[in-house]
Every structure is written in C-alpha cells, then in structure tokens.
Chains A and B, each alone.
Chain A
C-alpha cells in the first residue's frame, strides 16, 4: 500500500476536493451552510483549533465548587471554580464510558461523580477514584497497569479577561489580548473593564440556521439599516448616523459601532430607501429607549463579533453576550446572557431589564433576526445551489462606510485559510 504524499503547498482541505469556492469576490457558496462534511471540518479546525471560545462569566461561578454547563463548538463542557479559586473548563464526558454526566445548568459541588459507574473527578478534572478498582475478594477489578491519571477529564486551556471566561482545545494560544487585536480589545474592555458584573439572566433558543449566519448577521450593517424598524426609526442604527466598522488584522473579529443622535434621526433623503423607517411612529412609553451614558466611548452601540462563538452587544444600556453553539449544519443554539454591574443603582438595573425587551428570542429586534436567518437556511437547503452575494462596498474603504459587506468578506477570507477552502 502506498500513501500519497500531500504536496507541502497544497491547501489542507484535500479532504473535500469536490468543493470549489467561487472566484468572484463576495460570492459565498451554499455548501458552507449545508454540507455535513464542512460542518465536521469546522468543529475540528475552528472550534477545536486555535481559537478562544467564550464559555461563561466569572460572576456565574463566584464560589469554590460553583459550576455551569457550557459548550465549545458542539462539545458540552463544564466551567468550574476549583478549590484554589482557579477557573477550569473540561469536557462534560466521563472518561469511562462517555456519559455526559453533568445535566444541570448550574450548581455547586466538591467533586463530579458520573452517575453511571460512579467514577469520581475532583474539581480540577482529575480522576480521583473508581469503585471496585481491585474487584471483590480478589476477583475482578481493573488490571494492574490501570492508572487513574490516564483517565482524567479532557481539560481545556482557559483564559479570563475582565470577568469573561474563554476556553480553547489548543494549549498553544496567544493571549486573549493578542487574539482580539488592539481595536477589538479596546471595545471588549470598555465593557469588561474588571468592574464587577451582575447576572440579569439568560435566554436560550434554537435557531434553524447555520451558525455562521449569526456571525454574518452582526457583521452586516446593511440589514441593520433595513430590517429593523426599531433601529431605523429611533436612530439606534440607521444610515446617516455616525458609524464605523473595525476589524482585527486577520479579519475574523469585528465591531459595528454607532452613535445615536440626540432625539430621533432626521427624516432626510437617506431614509427614502428604508421601508422600515416609520417617521410617524411614537412610543407610548419612550423611557425604554433612554440612554444613560455609562462609558467613556463616542459610540452608543457596539456589536462585537469575536470569532468563532461570541457576540458581545452594547446597545444603549443593554449589555449582553450571545454564545453560538452549533448543532449540525442546519441548526444552532444561542445562549443570550444579559448582565449589568454589581454597583448599578436599582433604577439602572430596572432600566436594563426593560430595555432588554429589544433583544432575545422575544425581542423587538431579536425576532426579526431569528426569523430572517431561518428564511435564509430554508432557502439555501431546499432550493438549487447557487452562490450568495456579499459584494457591497470595497475591501479597503473608510471606516465610516456603512452600506458594505466588507466585514463578512474578511471573515470568510480568514475562514477559507483555516478551512483550506
């Protein structure tokens, strides 16, 4: 048998040679959203590769032994604070027979015991004991060369920044600061400055779409200026505002930045093409859109995408994270975490809660996006293949260009490199 040598300069995607990326700039092939082989390769090369994946907030596990369930890509993990207060992340899979042993959203424990055969792990993920290791009455039991230390939980690389916890299957990772790059690090630490956070709650929903559509959605100011009446009519994000898009040098992370004008936006010529702009619309309770300036930032909103699994949103006084959990090519789960700060006044906390009506699976805008993404996946998976178009704007253009797909294109440039497509 001969093993065919792979040429050194070949794209590392020799596994999927039948998939050819279209040549035209901005064209996106349907199969990246629907092909199960692409999905599997993404899990391996992206989520289990050299990426930092958001898994939770420190405020969710304040005490020793506190844990939450979470995910890295499609892999269930446990995020735990060990007895030395160090944050640990390990696979939620017993090393014995594979049981996903932790079935609670959160809790506190001194150890993890798999309910099936009672293999017991300490809070660092080390296998601490197995029942009947030496059998009974000298009969049965594990062989002599059985070592507990060969059967620890698979442990992930962990980093914490300003209270946000990230994990990686790769042990060889740059710091999160370097991973984000200076622009995104700045936007990130505006919110995660080290100020103590307070959890307001979590929404969870399953979307019938490919996970990348969600990253695209938050890199797509075009839709934001068209789909969302709440953004356009009340000036939260509308063409004509002071806006900006920044990305890291690799093009994988980005932030859509926007400065809401005082009062409502002018009903000028730029609004004529926006069908969702309703100049006459009034709120019966306009207090929901009040903005209490709380950061030293020129932007009233910042939609940050951190590759591959996190969206960090600051919109007026809403602070929220959306963690993307892929569940096959056609479906993903979103875990929305809304938070404030420990030293918020009761009034500000109430205001954040009221304002959170805008987002989430029951939100004024959340509903728009969830539905739109589903429409896209329905269209892509059920009709004849053709390429999607993301050709707005230029790859190099002024930061304040808003009718542009350049952040989507730069993400796919990076994606193709990693995936070898």
Chain B
C-alpha cells in the first residue's frame, strides 16, 4: 500500500481525521456484528482492494489471501456467497478495533492503522478469539466529507485459523 504523504504540520486535522476514522470503524464493526452482510460492500469505493492475509504470508512476501476482493463486483459476490451459498453453523461475531493511528493524509486519501480482534461464539460453545490482527487502511475522502475504504489489508497474527473464517474481517 502506498502511504499518503504525512502532514505532520497540521495536528488538528490529523486529530479530526482520527475521530472520523474511529467513527468509521464503529459503523463498520456494528454493521458486520449485526450480521447484515449485504451492506458490507457499502464501506468501500467501487475500485477498492480488500485483503485478509496471514501475517506469515504477508511478511514472507507471499500474496495468498484468506479473502481477496478487487473491485465492487467481488465484494458483492463475497457478500452474496456468505448470505446465500455457503454452509456454516450459526454464529455471533464481535469486532473490536483499537489503537487507531493516522499515518498520512494528502488531501484526498488518509492512511491509517489499527489493531483488531474478532470474537466468535457458536451454539453451545464458549466465546473464542477468532482473529487478532492489524488493519492497514487507505481511506478516500468523499465529496460529502464522509470516508470510504479504498484499501483494507487485514493482517492477522492468528495464522492457524480455527476451522474457518466466515464473515469479513
């Protein structure tokens, strides 16, 4: 991911951006945790890139992703598959996002990082940690002032996946 040029001179803008990005994380997590998967693509630009990749692959320079979307069509097909074609046991998921850092802003794009954890709960089972990882994001400022993700790289430390990851990270 190409980092947007950092603008360290204007700390007020960075603080404002961080607040906006934290709001974005809240909405994103709330939508996914509610289970309305077909709304998930709306958080991305039409040309967005989305990768869920094991930290081991990422650091070894191997590009294989657990989930990969390039462009809106692939987001919609992923959402459709989860809602209509995949077979899996019912579950609750809960996203927790923390340590949001804005790493750059060039007027139209902001780059940011955050840690995330996802808890998963299946019927008759205690809640478990599904993923611990780091978001590396690139947000695109929209004309109305809102943010959309142009890139989201979810780099997970929990390399050994417990069975499967059904919902997006």
Residues of A within 8 A of B (CB): 105-106, 199-208, 227, 229-230, 233, 276, 278, 281, 283-285, 288, 333, 338, 353-354, 356-357, 360-362, 364, 366-368, 370-372, 374-375
Closest beta carbon of chain B to A332's beta carbon, Å: 11
Closest beta carbon of chain A to B164's beta carbon, Å: 4
* B contact residues around A207 at 8 Å (CB): 163
B1 adjacent to chain A (CB < 8 Å): no
B119 adjacent to chain A (CB < 8 Å): no
Interface size grouping (class) on chain B = 35 or more
**By DSSP majority rule, is chain A's interface helix, strand, loop, or mixed?**
mixed
B160 adjacent to chain A (CB < 8 Å): yes
Closest beta carbon of chain A to B34's beta carbon, Å: 20
Closest beta carbon of chain A to B161's beta carbon, Å: 4
Contact A202 B54 (CB under 8 A): yes
Instruction: Name the interface residues of B40-85: CB closer than 8 Å to any CB of A.
Output: 52-54, 56-57, 60, 62-68, 70-74, 76-78, 80-81, 84-85
Contact B66 A199 (CB under 8 A): no
Question: Whose C-beta in chain A lies nearest to the C-beta of B168?
Answer: A362
* A contact residues around B52 at 8 Å (CB): 362
Complexed CA–CA distance, A302 and B81 (Å): 23
Complexed CA–CA distance, A227 and B162 (Å): 21
Closest beta carbon of chain A to B14's beta carbon, Å: 33
Given contacts A361-B161, A362-B67, contact A283 B85 (CB under 8 A): no
Complexed CA–CA distance, A205 and B161 (Å): 4
Contact A362 B164 (CB under 8 A): yes
Contact B160 A205 (CB under 8 A): yes
Question: Whose C-beta in chain B lies nearest to the C-beta of A352?
Answer: B64
* A contact residues around B19 at 8 Å (CB): none
Given contacts A283-B77, A362-B67, contact A106 B163 (CB under 8 A): no
* A contact residues around B70 at 8 Å (CB): 354
* A contact residues around B12 at 8 Å (CB): none
Contact A201 B73 (CB under 8 A): no
Closest beta carbon of chain B to A118's beta carbon, Å: 27
Given contacts A205-B161, A205-B162, contact A106 B74 (CB under 8 A): no
Contact B161 A203 (CB under 8 A): yes
Given contacts A201-B54, A203-B161, A205-B160, contact A367 B166 (CB under 8 A): yes
Given contacts A288-B74, A361-B163, A367-B164, contact A354 B68 (CB under 8 A): yes
